[in-house]
Amino acid sequence: MKRKFDPKVFQLGYVALETADIERTKDHYLENIGMTQTAKGDDGAVFLSIGYNHHDIVLRPAKQKALLHIGLHLKPGIVVSDLAHQAREFGLAAMIKTDSQPGITELVEVEGPGGNVFQFYGAIEASAPGFKKTSVAPLRLGHVAVISSEGEKLVKFYEDFLGFWYTDDIQGIATFLTCNRDHHVINVVNAPESRVHHLAFELRGTANHAMAADALRAAGVKQLWGPSRHTAGHNLAGYHHDPDKVMVELYTEMDTFIPELGIHEPRPWHEYFPMKPKTWQLSELNAWGAEFGFNLAAG
Ligand SMILES: [Fe+2]
């Protein structure tokens, strides 16, 4: 697979959300998901960790819910000032910030297409508050899906500026992109709205889907879709709403992309061999043919 350059980042670090009811939203991530608060900012923002990094989710109080920014971890060898310079050459505003948030000494904030704000950093403190023993207690934050009215420009930003690989799409509405071996780290939904579509946490194993769904039900949180197997990515996924009606996905068994071959590592449940990046239909979101209410664009 010919590429101009390798991705500038290697993983999703964190997602920062604004919320109108920070106590209620925070409680969901602490009590139901099983995260730990590691810090509180001067602006009332709370920093939540899954178990190792200083933060995986940031919640900031605001008048209404919104996606604040996405944190992406720079590949070793790319420093913040390089990224700032390259972003400006690409025509984007970039600002280097020092000690602007707990856990990260230096970062560069870039305003991407459609008002999507990114924070790029080379190091985040490993606070390691420990993994919780609740029923959900995910392993990590794996991906984020964003709805954007400038979806095409946003995809170009990921591909042409950051070097992400295209791994699949759903009728051109949702585009899956990766900067590592996960099927997707970012999913861009091209629709006339601008907000987060869902956040996705990886669970320890497939048996944990049932335990997670039972625990969420006990907390009064219903499943919106699944757990069931997707086609694009083939992840086993269950979705629920957080208190702000931001969708949260819990998943396992996501496809492994092999950039060197331009295919997804073969799996017995694949429909195609080799499983190359392709366009899937909206009518085939569910590999098992189960019918669940799931509006891709509306989320
Ligand atoms: Fe997802």
pLDDT at 249 over 80: yes
Terminal Cα-to-Cα distance of the chain (whole angstroms): 33
Say how many Å lie between the CA of residue 295 and the centre of ligand 1. 13
Structure tokens at 202: 């990886």
CA distance linking residue 47 with residue 36, whole number of Å = 8
Q: Where are the alpha helices (DSSP H) in the chain?
A: 22-27, 80-89, 151-156, 208-218
Reported confidence tier of residue 1, pLDDT bands at 50, 70, 90:
very low
Task: Quote the ligand 1 centre to 12 CA distance (angstroms).
Answer: 13
Q: What is the pLDDT of residue 180?
A: 98
Count of residues for the chain? Answer: 299
pLDDT at residue 121, rounded to an integer = 98
For the chain, the 3-state helix, strand and coil shares in percent, each to the nearest 5, are 15, 40, 45
Task: State the distance from the centre of ligand 1 to the C-alpha of 203, rounded, in angstroms.
Answer: 13
Q: How far is the CA of 200 from the centre of ligand 1 (A)?
A: 6
- Report CA(96)–ligand 1 centroid distance (Å): 30
**pLDDT per position as a tens digit, 181-239:** 999 999 999 999 999 999 999 999 999 999 999 999 999 999 999 999 999 999 999 99
Provide the pLDDT for residue 289.
87
Calculate how far, in angstroms, residue 238's C-alpha sits from the geometric centre of ligand 1: 9
Q: How far is the CA of 232 from the centre of ligand 1 (A)?
A: 10
**What's the whole-model pTM score?**
0.96
Calculate mean pLDDT across residues 121-136.
96
- Give 253 Cα–ligand 1 centroid separation in angstroms: 12
